[in-house]
Structure 1
Amino acid sequence: MTNRDISEVFRAIGSLLQIRGDDAFRARIYDRAADIIEDFPHELAAAPTQPDTLRYDPKALEQLRATPGIGKAIQDKTVEILETGRCKFYNDLAEETGTGILEVLKLRGIGIKTASRFYHEFGVRSLEDFQALLDSGQLRGIKGIGRKTLRMIIESLAFHIEQKKQRPLWSVLPIVQQIVESLAQFVAEGWITREPEVTGDLRRHEETCRSIELIIECKDESVFQFENGTLTPPLQSLLEVLSQTQFGPAYLTTDSPETSENPGASITFKTDFGETRQIQYVYNVDTTTLIEKSQDALTGDGRDALPAIQFYIDQDFPVSIYLSSAATYESTLFLTTATAKHLAALTEAKPSGSETHFNATRNLTETEIYNRFGVPYIPPELRQDETSVAAAKDNALPNLVEFTDLRGDLHAHTDWSDGRHTLQDMVEAAKVEGLEYFAITDHSVSSTVANGLNQTRLLAQVAQVRELDAKTEGITVFAGSEVDIRRHGELDFPDEILAQLDVVVASVHSLFTLTEAEMTKRIICAIENPFVNIIGHPTGRMLGYRPMYALNIEEVIAAAAENNTVLEINASLSRLDLDSQFVRMAKSAGVLLSVNTDAHGIGQLGRRRFGLNVARRGWLTKAEVINTYTLAELREVCNIGMRP
């Protein structure tokens, strides 16, 4: 159970209370608690090394309780969630109102008051209900919903329906952690001989995932090779644990938590690598036995012969746990990381007369497997399609940027705006992270909801940053600002103020529904300002919530190249913006990129790793990511840190 899981519970409570018609002040208590817990610097759940009898960290909980905005009721519910995996208050509320209306609330153009109106006046309880309401034509003519808003809602609904087929990384990672924790006892017992490793979408570091795939290495192959559905004791123990564990925040996914299904398990096994059939068994939870479901011919690509445990989360999100031995571990990793397009391209690339059948990869490392196909090792992030295979054949693979190359973070917030920690706390945490430089870029005045700084407050903060930088050893602190780009491209601060900053990140935080031409012109205008160093989260997407705004990305990239303006890869798991395909377009145009955390608390500084993954998926090298630059290089190449 992560802090984000807990925050989602409280956020849902706040929304459901308002939809039900409760006092708005009461709902805001839960909204505020959700914000605090999501950004809390310490995980509230007990570490695996702590006693099993205590599922929360007492010290962390004590610190949380001391935080303004966290009362005893919130504390008690937090403990309840950590101890039981449930929240009775939420469950009772969900039973009364249902939770499908929360999906409607995610649609752009629908706020809490509108959702409440749909709920009470039209009986909307789910996206399906809302689709029916939309199809009926009853929304036309309703006060407050004009043609532009209606178009926005329709587009957002289509986006959310498409998103149901995949899940953003931020929602998948906690489930992966739960699965790994459920396997820990078998690692300790020794029949799983190494820590489980992600593969598939997760190992390629996709921003959104269509499934969860992991690999476990078993002590020997006898664990998962059997006849006629007779389970080995280790495998039976594993299946019992999986069948009895509820993965994911069940209290947020069903209207009746008590009726949510256990994973169950449809288990695909191949008992002998030399045979030509795939046997699928279904695990019977009641009898703890396997029942044969089907037998199918193998297709020959090697992947369908891999022993695997498969089940679904929330009935529609697949999980596969591949079972391997030491001899088959890397070949399994190879086969499950690459997409079908990538594997097909490798087959076409194989040297004439060579033996490169996928089943003939036993005891080989991934590097050796690629070498058999006549190409060098291809990093997991580049195994999406055939492009990297073609580059490998031409010896044109890039030397991808590494995490250890990153020297600094150029976009972070403090409690001067909407951050959770002080300037001093953020700088000290950046030092602990090993950063050589760190930029304070709090919001500007137009971001009123984020307590944005006006000119007077900004200059006062700049003075404090200069003072802190002078007395802090081991790190350089930049005075900057995340400046709002207004409707027509003008910035929140005049040039004479911007000239006093070390770094300026210009970002869009409002008016997301402008036309493509208007939004493109707006951002290019900011790019052309000589004091703007970086365009923050350039496309405005929020993974799982809203798509990028209408934007001619080709024109934006061309303008950035012409004006030597850096584009950001925002490492927030909610954003991961730019998308990796646009990163590669920027690379081709000669545009430099910056991997920044956009941290609003010290616990978020480590997420630059997720931004780095996007950079690698975009084929970036060290020289193309400015966070790898020295201070002198930043000044010379990017004009960052040059101002008095």
Structure 2
Amino acid sequence: MPVHNADIAAIFEQIAELLEIQGANPFRVRAYHNAARTVSEFGREFTALIAAGQDVPHLPGIGKDLSGKIHEIATTGRCALLDRLRGELPPALTELLVIPGLGPKRVRTLHEALGVDTVAQLRAAAEAGHIRRVPGFGAKTEQRILDHLRSRPGPETRMLLPVAAQYAEALADWLRGAPQVQQLEIAGSYRRRRETVGDIDILVASDAPAPVMQRFTGYDEVRQILGQGSTRASVVLASSLQVDLRVVEPAAFGAALHYFTGSRAHNIAIRKRAQARGLKINEYGVFRGKARVAGETEESVFAAVDLPWIAPELREDRGEIAWAARAPLPRLIERADLKGDLHCHSRASDGNATLEELAAAARAAGLTYLAITEHSQRLTVAHGLDTARLLQQCEAIDALNARLDGIVLLKGIEVDILEDGQLDLSDEVLGQLDIVIGAVHSHFDLSPARQLKRLMRAMDHPHLHVLAHPGCRELGKRPPIELDWLRLVRHARRRGCFLELNAQPKRLDLTDVHARMAREEGVLVAISSDAHTVDDFNNLDYGIGQARRGWLEAADVLNTRPLDTLREVLRRG
């Protein structure tokens, strides 16, 4: 059974977490976290390379030992080190890691202080008031843990969009190999570019469904067949991802694609609009009585109810239908609209590439400028830069720009926003940079009022241009901070500050809702890769998807502007 890059990355993440629970050397832990990120973002499948007789390519941060483990996992699906670490710790201990606010260090602390090894033991300790007495926790943390345990619906089954893509696209390519497949689309929340995917819907147009169904259920990654009929089937892959296949006749493909793309709320609104016109819409077409009057294409479905085609990312019943009925919809931003990237990290902090390597990769990605924004000194875990190191890097950037062709590096910093809203570096050094982005990396649990005051004070700083990943969330690990978003966005407008849409798939922060809020309030958004490796510029595609869900046009995005215009906008801001 093929092993995907996402599987290898997941094993490396598990190793890092178990090592951290054991109290292993932080540099070793970090090496596995970095390796997981590098592997997950590598553009080719390691299993395919190895099957073709090629060696594991040299990648930043991947030495001989990690390269050997990639080969081991890709060829066997297992890792001896992970098996050993699992045997050394209570089996249920890792289940605690999915609880918000409990990273490996805190799990180890609870294990050592209270003997907590399971979710049931954690809940019992919280209900008895024991957790608040453990140093580093307190009553608020205990209550948050208890609230989560009481409200959680069950195991988390959603995948990050790029992880789901590895499994979904491979299966779709396999199905396209059947000569009976005339058209194929991956529909559902995947097509709408949701941040996470619960399952995958694949739609096929074919006049001969039986061979397509056979090929689908015979796919070598299918672990379980949940159901199978003549034109539909549902399976669970080895990755635990559920995939549903529907085969329709070509004349109904557009109607079925609209139906299975969703969202449910959007579809209901479209059906009501059809009913008002004496029509019926379902996955088989648009009907007037028994006569099918449209359905071969999505455009024909929308036209039947007097609407233009609506992009999948907008189909959430958030006003897109009423807007499309009265005026042209926004021309949503596309990847080609981006001229530059305003957030990335080199080896000087916690990245895995040199300045020159990042410049070459950004240029290859079609960008004309790239801001180098290392972490600042307070973030010691990421080797943050103090004033002396930052000024040295500025000199290195100037020297490199003198010989670069086709791209310009901007001198910047991702300066830490402290608890009181102060910035982590002096005005003197910040004033020498082309761009300053500010970010919160601690004290996520402040009250909404204090958190808002903190961010507003940071934005009031005369040298701050962009507020980075404003919600501070990590999907599946850390919820967003709580604050009054409308007041934050309006303060950004008054101050002339910009908001980042961080395209790292684990963040995608701004949310689509807050990106649209920024658009409506006239605040420009910077779509940034937050690149730590040369492959991370691919993240921009996910940022574009999120921006489209937020109704953003090219004019709403800061880094669609040419460099000269960008410099002027930053200066005015």
TM-score (norm. length: structure 2): 0.89
What's 1:360 paired with? Answer: 285
User: Do structure 1's residue 481 and structure 2's residue 413 form an aligned pair?
Assistant: yes
Q: CA, structure 1 residues 245+68, in 2 after alignment: closer, same or farther (shift >3 Å)? A: closer
- Quote the Cα distance in structure 2 between the aligned partners of 1:77 and 1:550: 41
Q: Deviations along 1:421-467, whole A, 9 cap, x unmatched?
A: 00111011111111111111111111111111111111111111122
User: Residue type of the partner of 2:72?
Assistant: E
Matches within 5 A, 1:521-536: 521-536=453-468
Alpha-carbon shift at residue 156 of structure 1 (Å)? 5.4
Distance 2:440 2:148 in 1: 19
Letter in 2 for 1:413: H
How far has the Cα of 1:91 moved from its partner? 3.7
Whether 2:226 is the aligned partner of 1:265: answer: yes
Q: What letter matches 2:265 in structure 1?
A: K
CA apart distance, 1:11: 2.8
Q: Is 1:604 the equivalent of 2:529?
A: no
Map 1:467-616 onto structure 2 (within 5 A): 467-616=399-548
Tell me the distance in 2 between the aligned counterparts of 1:310 and 1:578. 34
SS in 1 for 2:246: strand
Alignment of 1:45-444 (within 5 A): 45-46=45-46, 54-55=50-51, 58-59=54-55, 61-64=56-59, 70-72=63-65, 74-91=66-83, 93-94=85-86, 97=89, 99-116=91-108, 118-119=110-111, 124-154=116-146, 157=149, 161=153, 164=156, 166-180=158-172, 184=174, 186-194=175-183, 196-218=184-206, 220=207, 222-223=208-209, 232=210, 234-241=212-219, 244-245=220-221, 262-267=223-228, 269=229, 307-312=231-236, 318-350=242-274, 353-358=277-282, 359-361=284-286, 363-385=295-317, 387-444=319-376
Equivalent residues of 2:503, 2:530 under 8 A apart: yes
Task: Report the CA distance between 1:533 and its aligned residue.
Answer: 1.1
Distance 1:68 1:205 in 2: 30
1:545 Cα deviation from its structure 2 partner: 0.5
* Structure 1 contact 39–601 (Cα < 8 Å) conserved: yes
Residues 340-359 of structure 1: CA distance to partner in whole angstroms, max 9, x if unpaired? 21122123334854434334
1:295 maps to what in 2? none
Q: Secondary structure of the residue that 1:322 maps to in structure 2? A: strand
Amino acid at match of 2:58: Q
Query: 2: distance between equivalents of 1:478 and 1:156?
Result: 43
Is the contact made by 1:597 and 1:605 (CA closer than 8 Å) also made in structure 2? yes
1:39 — aligned with what? 38
How much does 1:187 deviate?
2.8
- Cα-Cα RMSD: 2.9
Q: CA deviation at 1:157?
A: 4.6
- Indicate how the Cα distance of structure 1 residues 85 and 167 shifts in structure 2: closer, same or farther if over 3 A, else same: same
Q: Which amino acid aligns with 1:150?
A: E
One-letter identity of the residue aligned with 2:388: T
User: Aligned partners of 1:14 and 1:594: how far apart in 2?
Assistant: 32
Counterpart contact for 2:250–2:296, Cα < 8 Å: no
1:124 and 1:348, CA in 2 relative to 1: closer, same or farther beyond 3 A?
same
In 1, distance between residues paired with 2:416 and 2:19?
33
List gaps (5 residues or longer) in structure 2. 287-293
1:632 to 1:91, Cα distance in 2 relative to 1, 3 A: same
Letter in 2 for 1:489: G
1:619 partner SS: coil
**In the TM superposition, what whole-angstrom CA distance separates every residue of 1:148-204 from its partner, at most 9, and x where no partner exists?**
332343355568657826443244233324433xx52x433422345x432111111
Task: Specify the code of the residue in structure 2 equivalent to 1:443.
Answer: H
3-state DSSP class of the match of 1:327? helix
> Per the alignment, do residues 245 and 62 of structure 1 end up closer, same or farther by CA in structure 2, a change over 3 Å counting?
closer
Amino acid at match of 1:334: H
CA shift digits 1:29-67 (9 cap, x unpaired): 36513413422574573475x6xxx437734x1515xx6
| Inter-CA distance 30–455: structure 2 relative to 1 (3 Å threshold) | closer
Measure how far apart 1:384 and its partner are: 1.1
Read off the aligned partner of 2:31 and give its amino acid letter: R
Deviation digits for residues 400-419 of structure 1 (CA, Å, limit 9, x no counterpart): 11111111101111111111
Q: Which deviates further from its counterpart, 416-425 or 39-48?
A: 39-48
CA distance in 2, matches of 1:536, 1:325: 47
Q: 1:392 to 1:189 in 2, by over 3 A?
A: closer
Question: Structure 2: which amino acid aligns with 1:265?
Answer: L
Structure 1: how far apart are the matches of 2:181 and 2:104?
A: 48
**d(CA) in 1 for partners of 2:303 and 2:338?**
30
Taking the aligned partners of 1:411 and 1:634, their CA distance within structure 2 comes to 14
Q: TM-score, normalised by structure 1?
A: 0.80
1:298-327 deviations in whole A, cap 9, x for unaligned?
Answer: xxxxxxxxx422134689864212223433
CA contact (8 A) 1:412 1:599 kept: yes
Q: How many pairs were matched up?
A: 562
CA distance in 1: counterparts of 2:28 and 2:84, whole angstroms: 18
- Change in Cα spacing, 1:117 to 1:565, as seen in structure 2 (3 Å) is closer
Q: Which amino acid aligns with 1:478?
A: L
Question: How much identity, in percent, do the aligned residues show?
Answer: 30
Whether 2:10 is the aligned partner of 1:8: answer yes
CA contact 1:170–1:574 (8 Å) conserved in 2: no
Give the Cα–Cα distance (whole angstroms) in 2 for the partners of residues 101 and 314 of structure 1: 23
